[in-house]
């Protein structure tokens, strides 16, 4: 037992001592300063040649703008996925309260969609998704 402790102490001290100090790096060499101007000064008697136009690159693709009902459906599905992942796990009391509140919000969001209130459904579904993401069921 004493030999194990001694070996552990030696290994830990070697790990701490051998790598050296990380904060003591060698200084970087100095870079020379140049005083040359970047561009030639403009002359008023010379007309600059026109610059040929570059072919424009295609604009980056934007994600499609979803309607409020589509956003509500997406967030409700995401919250449901998290709750299904937690289905077989033993939850603590506060996690059970979070799960119950999430289920309630999902049902309210679905009821709002059925009533045709997409904005309210989107808000409830987003809250349900955020609440469900706070659950840690692994």
Q: What confidence tens digit (pLDDT) does each residue in 106-118 have? A: 999 999 999 999 9
Q: How far apart are the first and last CA of the chain?
A: 37
In this prediction, residue 1 carries a pLDDT of 63
- Tokens 């009902």 sit at which residue? 69
- CA–CA separation, 70 vs 73, rounded Å? 5
pLDDT for 23-82, tens place per residue? 566 677 777 776 665 666 666 666 666 776 666 767 677 666 678 889 999 999 999 999
Domain ranges of the chain: 71-133
Reported as a single tens digit per residue, the pLDDT across 59-68 is 677 666 678 8
Mean confidence (pLDDT) of the chain = 78
Task: Report residue 136 as tokens.
Answer: 């840690």
Q: Are 105 and 128 in contact (CB under 8 A)?
A: yes
């Amino acid at each position: 037992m004493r030999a194990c402790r001694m070996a552990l102490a030696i290994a830990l001290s070697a790990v701490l001592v051998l790598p050296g100090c990380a904060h003591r790096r060698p200084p970087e060499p100095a870079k020379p300063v140049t005083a040359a101007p970047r561009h030639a000064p403009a002359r008023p008697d010379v007309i600059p040649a026109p610059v040929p136009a570059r072919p424009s690159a295609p604009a980056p693709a934007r994600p499609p703008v979803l309607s409020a009902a589509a956003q509500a459906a997406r967030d409700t599905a995401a919250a449901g996925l998290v709750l299904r992942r937690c289905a077989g796990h033993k939850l603590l009391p506060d996690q059970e309260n979070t799960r119950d509140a999430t289920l309630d919000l999902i049902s309210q969001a679905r009821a709002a969609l059925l009533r045709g209130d997409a904005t309210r459904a989107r808000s409830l579904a987003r809250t349900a998704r955020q609440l469900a993401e706070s659950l840690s069921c692994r």
